[in-house]
Amino acid sequence: MQRSHISEQYDLELSQLRDQLMEMGGLVEQQVNKACSSLVSHDIHLAEEVRDTESRLNQMEVDLDDECVGIIAKRQPTAGDLRAVVSVMKLITDLERIGDEADRIAKMAISLIEFETPVDQYASFRQMQQQVVRQLSHALDAFARLDVESALRVIEDDHDIDRAYTKLVKACVEGMQSSPTEAEHLVGLMWATRALERIGDHCKNISEYVIYQVKGKDVRHADDVNIG
């Protein structure tokens, strides 16, 4: 009876932890969208809002980490239960780092305020933003549902983000060569694009944690993900 009660308490604590984690994930999604919108629309107020919210994300990371440590100390979970807590701790870190990348994009947005909006209205950047935000949403959904198949699709689709990043950087370099006066503007855009590419990497990480939690396999450095 005592063991059953302890198990129920653990399940409740882990459920509450995952709810808080998804709240953090929702806030991170907002941060990425707002940061990119601030750059595209040259909206300094939106960029500053992103920067102001960064401290809230940092505090959420600290609080959630403390809760994870508390669960491990009190419940001493083993096997699959331990993997669940470890996966949450890893995800917390990746979400905070995605928040950092959104903050970097907001910084770039502020630095680019004085420049003219390009003729294409940042079309390639906006397209890459949509890809990355979609990946983030799918990765978080896969984690919430412990959906391995969805997680695998996110990992596979990361190649599309890498290709979009390479293409956009190439376009920026060609733009600097043809119009040196645009160099500062294009360098800033390249840094923002790099931040988006890193967010894609963190989405891939999140999906790998799903596989680790469900299958007990660490596929982070595998060239070909085979979950058996």
Q: From the CA atom positions of the chain, what is the Rg in Å?
A: 20
The whole-number pLDDT of residue 220 equals 67
Q: Identify the DSSP state of 224.
A: S
Looking at domain 2-215, its CATH architecture is: Up-down Bundle (1.20)
**C-alpha span between 28 and 50 (Å, rounded):** 10
43: left (phi over 0), alpha (psi -120 to 50) or beta: beta
The whole-number pLDDT of residue 226 equals 58
The whole-number pLDDT of residue 8 equals 81
CB 154 within 8 A of CB 219: no
Read off the pTM: 0.91
The whole-number pLDDT of residue 2 equals 42
Residue segments in the chain with a per-residue pLDDT below the cut of 70: 1-6, 220-228
Secondary structure of 44-64 as H, E, C letters: HHHHHHHHHHHHHHHHHHHHH
The whole-number pLDDT of residue 1 equals 41
- 131: tokens are 């890809």
CB 206 within 8 A of CB 145: no
Give 75-124 pLDDT, tens digit per residue. 888 888 889 999 999 999 999 999 999 999 999 999 999 999 998 999 99
- In the chain, where the domains are located: 2-215
The whole-number pLDDT of residue 95 equals 97
Question: H-type helices in the chain, by residue range?
Answer: 2-41, 44-75, 79-111, 123-145, 148-178, 183-215
The whole-number pLDDT of residue 76 equals 85
The whole-number pLDDT of residue 223 equals 56
